[in-house]
């Protein structure tokens, strides 16, 4: 119901604009299959207001995982493709779900769906629009890259899991020409590929470190070596 209502707010969207806003559009039977096997990826990007800093930022959640036959993963990068520090991790009893929260002025979403060795890839950029008359700005969404029916050379979820790090799918145009992933985002795509092949995933693959300082023990509780 919420997704349908959100779409009604954008009645004149092109398919490209819809992809940039919502992420990969998967058939209902695939969504139901992911739900049945317990793979939960959250591609939503939301606009949030920081009252102390008096600015708008974007919020995303790195999430997803895999079973052997299918996987879906969503991660986020900075505008230049570099890893962002997560705000905080999310610890749950379940696997293949949410892993960490990220907040930043600009987010690049990297989303990858895998069925066997065949992959769908979407890279989109998100930022607050112009603020006018103290009104909430629009969320600007730009499609950066769309990879259709790419193929993974290795079975990262099985016999080839030890080489998961440097692997990305290979994509071709309809005319049979190789389509290269933008160099700035190849590291993020490698991480998403690894996540979509990570059976029972319980950790973030690309968001790194944390913005929240770690809380240590009080001095009187620490032991002297």
What confidence tens digit (pLDDT) does each residue in 69-99 have? 999 999 999 999 999 999 999 998 899 999 9
Closest of 66, 93, 90, 72 to residue 201, by C-alpha: 66
**Sequence-ordered list of residues with C-beta below 8 angstroms from that of 89, at least 6 positions apart, any chain:** 99, 100, 204, 210
113 vs 70: CA distance, rounded Å? 8
Supply angle C-alpha 187, 188, 190, rounded to 5.
65
What pLDDT score does 201 carry?
Answer: 95
What pLDDT score does 163 carry?
Answer: 66
The pTM of the full predicted model, rounded to 2 decimals, is 0.86
Q: For the chain, what are the domain ranges?
A: 2-209
What pLDDT score does 210 carry?
Answer: 67
β strands within the chain, DSSP E: 46-50, 55-66, 70-77, 85-86, 88-89, 98-104, 107-115, 118-128, 139-151, 171-172, 178-179, 208-210
Round the CA-based radius of gyration of the chain to a whole number and report it: 19
What pLDDT score does 219 carry?
Answer: 47
What pLDDT score does 12 carry?
Answer: 78
Q: By three-state DSSP, how is residue 155 classified?
A: coil
What pLDDT score does 166 carry?
Answer: 78
What are residue 61's DSSP bridge partners? 101
27 vs 155: CA distance, rounded Å? 24
pLDDT in tens, the chain (225 residues): 334 444 555 667 899 999 999 999 999 999 999 999 999 999 999 999 999 999 999 999 999 999 999 999 999 999 999 999 999 999 988 999 999 999 999 999 999 999 999 999 999 999 999 887 778 999 999 999 999 999 998 776 767 667 656 789 999 999 999 999 999 999 999 999 999 999 999 999 999 876 555 544 444 434 443
């Amino acid at each position: 119901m919420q997704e349908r209502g959100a779409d009604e707010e954008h009645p004149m969207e092109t398919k490209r604009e819809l992809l940039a806003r919502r992420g990969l559009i998967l058939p209902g039977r695939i969504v139901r299959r992911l739900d049945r096997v317990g793979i939960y990826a959250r591609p939503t990007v939301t606009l949030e207001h920081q009252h102390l800093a008096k600015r708008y930022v974007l919020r995303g959640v790195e999430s997803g995982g895999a079973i052997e036959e299918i996987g879906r993963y969503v991660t986020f990068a900075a505008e230049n493709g570099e890893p962002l520090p997560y705000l905080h991790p999310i610890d749950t009893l379940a696997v293949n779900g949410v892993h960490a929260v990220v907040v930043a002025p600009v987010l690049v979403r990297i989303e990858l769906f895998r069925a066997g060795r065949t992959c769908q890839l979407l890279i989109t950029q998100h930022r607050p629009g112009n603020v006018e008359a103290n009104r909430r700005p629009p969320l600007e969404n730009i499609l950066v890259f769309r990879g259709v029916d790419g193929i993974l050379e290795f079975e990262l979820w099985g016999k080839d899991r030890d080489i998961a790090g440097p692997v990305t799918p290979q994509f071709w145009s309809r005319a049979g020409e190789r389509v290269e992933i933008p160099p700035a985002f190849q590291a993020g795509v490698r991480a998403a590929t690894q996540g979509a092949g990570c059976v029972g995933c319980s950790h973030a693959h690309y968001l790194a470190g944390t913005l929240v300082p770690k809380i240590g023990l009080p001095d009187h509780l620490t032991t002297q070596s």
